[in-house]
Structures are given as structure tokens and as C-alpha cells.
Structure 1
Amino acid sequence: MRVALAQIITGRDLAGNLAIVEDYAGRAKAGGAELVVFPEATMRAFGNSLLDIAEPLDGPWATRVRAIAAEHDIVIVAGMFTPGAVADGGARAKVRNTLLVTGRGVETSYDKIHLFDAFGFAESDTVEAGSDAVTFELGGVTFGLATCYDVRFPDLFTENADRGADVNIVCASWGSGPGKAEQWKLLARARALDSTTVVLACGQGDPASLGLEPRGAAPTGVGHSVVVSPFGDVLDELDGAPGLLFADLDTDVVKEARTKLPVLANRHKF
């Protein structure tokens, strides 16, 4: 199965971001991909208000993504924001950081579990955490889902593997700073080894690559989307600029890794 990682840079405008999704989905399909992964915050970039644009999975933004997936006969994974629980007094105080998965008969979503309260940013101020791991199946391959800061927590990746995942998808809008791009790649490789899965780690591109100024402490991306084998090898990688990265998945490599390096079978649960 051929898949694609769409390393894009989104902004404040929802319609403009949808146009980017349509463009990259078409390019991914033309390149032979059956699935295209977009980053966290595809709907609207961090550093902008989120509560006013959060919508349910049957709202207009997700419905348009669904239509794009149908038009191109491709599965799309994309980060959006959905409404959180209603607070006392009936007002919504937070959103959920959601991955929408849609197309080719696949329809599911994942709410980010581990919120980025680190490096001077407090995602939990505006975002409500999810609680459930999510996997989905396409063409005989099982995929697990994770978002950005989740990549620092191995248990989600091994849980996805326990649920049958051959591949773990990580969608991110990674915070910049000294050593952060190196940490991103290191963590993607570590999670591949922990779970003996292929890791598809798709991040927002680096705004600096387009001459854009950072938006305060908001995590707006560093690029370096990467494909990692279950042995922890980097198979392909982008730089900081927007781009499309293709990968051909081979689940026999996952089976080989789990035979040679049976960490899932050997581990002890405490």
C-alpha cells in the first residue's frame, strides 16, 4: 500500500486550509497513494482562537474533507478541533484536538490524550483531553492514531500494537526550539522500536521556511516529517519546507521485526 504524508503549513483561514487539503489530496492520489496524512491543526493553526471554530464531526469543515476524500477516492487523516464538554452554565470552555479519518468506507476519529503542557505552552487551558486509543483498518493494514505530544508516551503506541496496529500515525504541530527537531525524529524512531510498527510521523512545516514569523509560544511546526521502519530506521524524511512524502508500506517487515525483536511478546506489565 502506498501512503503519503502532507507536510503543510496552515493558517487562520479555514477555507484556505481546506484548499490546501484538496490540493495535496489530489497530488497524493496522482502519486498512487491510498491514504494521505495531514498534520495536527490542519483546520486552523495554533496561535489562533480555537473555541469559535470548533465543530462536530458532521459539521461543514469535516463534511468538506469527507467530500474531498470521496472525490479523490482516498483516505484522509487530518487534524481538526471539535467541541468539548459543556461547562457549568451551559457554555463550552474547551475544544478537543481531534484527528478525523475519512474515505473509502473508513470513518473514525481520535481525540488527543496527552496535552502539551510543556516548554511554556499550556494546551490544557483550551483543550480537553481524550481518553481512548483508536485504530482503523484499510486494505488489510491496521493503523493506530496519535497526536504530537502523544509521541513522548510509549504506552499509547504499544496499546495500538496490542489492538493489531501494523502502522502508527502521528500527526503533529511540533513546537520549535533548540534540539526540538532532533527530539521529534528520535521519539518517532523510539516509538517504532517500542511497538515494532511502522511510524508515519507527519508534522506541520516550519513557518520560517516561508519567511513567516512565529506566533508567540504556540507550537506551529518544525517540519521533518518522517517514515520509520519497525527496526527504528529512518526510511525517508522531509526538511522544514512544505512537501509531500510517499511511502510504500510492507507489513511483512512488521512481521519480521516481531519475530527478530519480540519486545511486545517479551515485556512484563506491572
Structure 2
Amino acid sequence: MRVALAQIITGRDLAGNLAIVADYAARAKAGGAELVVFPEATMRAFGNSLLDVAEPLDGPWAARVRAIAAEHDIVVIAGMFTPGTADGGAHRKVRNTLLVTGRGVDTSYDKIHLFDAFGFAESDTVDAGTEPATFELDGVTFGLATCYDVRFPGLFTENADRGADVNIVCASWGSGPGKAEQWKLLARARALDSTTLVLACGQGDPASIGIEVKGAAPTGVGHSVVVSPLGDVLEELDGAPGLLFADLDTAVVKEARTKLPVLANRHKF
């Protein structure tokens, strides 16, 4: 199966971000991809208000993404924001959601581990999800994760227990000393933990196109990667926007689990 990782840089404007999705989805399909992964916060970049754009999974933004997926007969995964809880109307929050749609697939995942680290408190404005999510396409099972989730091995092994051959991580990774290296290291580690292929798609680095980022909001560092079940980086982008293609062969997952049966050998405490 050929897949594509769309390393984009989104902004505040929802319509402009949807135009980017349409462009990259068309390019992914033209390149032979059956699935295209967009990053976290595709709907609107972090550092902007989220409450005013959050909408249900059957709202207009998601409907447009579904239309793009249908037009190109491709599965699209994209980060959006859905309504969260309201504490008497005073403390409204959103959920950080991955929409998965196209080719008969329609599901979603709400980010479980919220980014309360490195001076940023995602939990101030976002409700945590509670359930892992997987989906199947052409006989291949995919597990879903979002950004800070990549620091928590249990989600990836749980997805593997649910049948995942591939784990997808959509991110808008925070910048800083050593952060890009940590991103790649963690993607490789989670591949090894779960003996799955890992598709780690992040927002590109705004500095790569001359945008200065102010504040602690995580707005992306790029370096989207495809990692083998034994932790080898198969494909990688730099910090700039781009489209990364990879041909997945799930036979390598079965082979890795024969050589390195960590899922079978582990003890659950």
C-alpha cells in the first residue's frame, strides 16, 4: 500500500487550511497514494483561538474534508477540533481530534495524552480522550495517536494488541533545543515497542518559510518520518513543507514480530 505524509504549515484561516488539504490530497492521489496523513491542528494552527472553530464531526469543516477524500478516492486523516465539555458555560473546552475519512472509512480519535509540558498547558483548553482507535483499510489495520501521545508506549502497544500493523502519529511538535531529535527518537522507539510501522507526520517548521513564532504554542518542527518495525528510518523530510511517499509492506511487521517478539514476551503488571 502506498501512503503519503503531508507535512504542511497551517495558519488561522480555516478556508485557507482546507485549500492546503485539497492541494496535498490531489498530489498524494496523483502519486499513487491510497491514504494521506495530515498533521495535528490541520484545521487551525496552535497559538490561535480554538473554541470559536470547534465543530462536531458532522459539521461543515469535516464535511469538506470528506468531500475532498471522496473526490480523490483516498483516505484522509486530518487534525481538527471538536466541542468538549462546558462547565456551566464558564469553562468550555475542545477536543483535539483526528478525523479519518474516505474509501468507506469514517472514524475519529480524540487525543488522550495532553501536552502539559515545556511551558504549555494543553489541558487548559482541551479535554482528553479516553479510548484508543484503530481502523482497517484493504486488510491493513492502523492505530492512531496524536503528538504528545508518542511519549507513552502503552497506547502504541494497545493499538498493536487491537491488530494494528501501522501506528500513525499526527503532530504539531513544539520547537526547542533537541526537540526534533526527540521526535525522531520517540517515533523509532514506539515502532520498536509495538513492532509496527510508524507514520509520524508533523506540521512543518514555520521558520522554514519565514514565519516567526512567538509564545510557547507548539507549531511544528517538521521531520516527518516513516519508521520500520525494527526502528529504522525509511523515509524522512526536513523542516520545510513537503509530501513524503512510502510503500508499506505489512509482511515486515510479521517478520519483525518473529525476530523480536516483545509483544508476546512482555509481562503486564
TM-score > 0.5 by shorter chain: yes
CA distance in 2, matches of 1:231, 1:166: 13
Deviation of 1:177 after TM superposition, in Å, equals 0.2
Unaligned runs of 5+ in 2: none
1:176-220, CA deviations, whole angstroms, 9 ceiling, x for partnerless residues? Answer: 000000000000000000000000000000000001011311000
The match for 2:165 is 166
Q: 1:225 touches 1:237 (CA, 8 Å); kept in 2?
A: yes
| Count of paired positions | 269
Deviation of 1:263 after TM superposition, in Å, equals 0.2
1:151-175, CA deviations, whole angstroms, 9 ceiling, x for partnerless residues? Answer: 0000000000000000000000000
The match for 2:59 is 59
> Which one is further off, 89-98 or 239-248?
89-98
1:52-103, CA deviations, whole angstroms, 9 ceiling, x for partnerless residues? Answer: 100000000000000000000000000000000x423245610000000000
Deviation of 1:138 after TM superposition, in Å, equals 0.1
Distance 1:123 1:88, change over 3 A: closer
| Residue aligned with 2:87, SS | coil
CA distance in 1, matches of 2:87, 2:244: 45
CA distance in 2, matches of 1:95, 1:254: 35
| Residue aligned with 1:155, SS | helix
| Residue aligned with 1:191, SS | helix
CA distance in 2, matches of 1:88, 1:122: 18
CA distance in 1, matches of 2:89, 2:175: 36
CA distance in 2, matches of 1:32, 1:53: 32
The match for 1:192 is 191
Please give the root-mean-square deviation of Cα atoms over the aligned residues, in Å. 0.7
Deviation of 1:145 after TM superposition, in Å, equals 0.0
| Residue aligned with 1:93, SS | strand
The match for 1:80 is 80
CA distance in 2, matches of 1:112, 1:87: 18
Q: 1:210 touches 1:241 (CA, 8 Å); kept in 2?
A: yes
1:8-32, CA deviations, whole angstroms, 9 ceiling, x for partnerless residues? Answer: 0000000000000000000000000
Distance 1:15 1:147, change over 3 A: same
The match for 2:130 is 131
Deviation of 1:114 after TM superposition, in Å, equals 0.2
Identity of aligned residues (%): 91
Regions of 4+ moved over 3 Å: none
1:102-154, CA deviations, whole angstroms, 9 ceiling, x for partnerless residues? Answer: 00000000000000000000000000000000000000000000000000000
Under a length normalisation based on structure 2, what TM-score does the superposition of the two structures give? Answer: 0.99
CA distance in 2, matches of 1:215, 1:43: 20
CA distance in 2, matches of 1:261, 1:4: 27
CA distance in 2, matches of 1:186, 1:132: 25
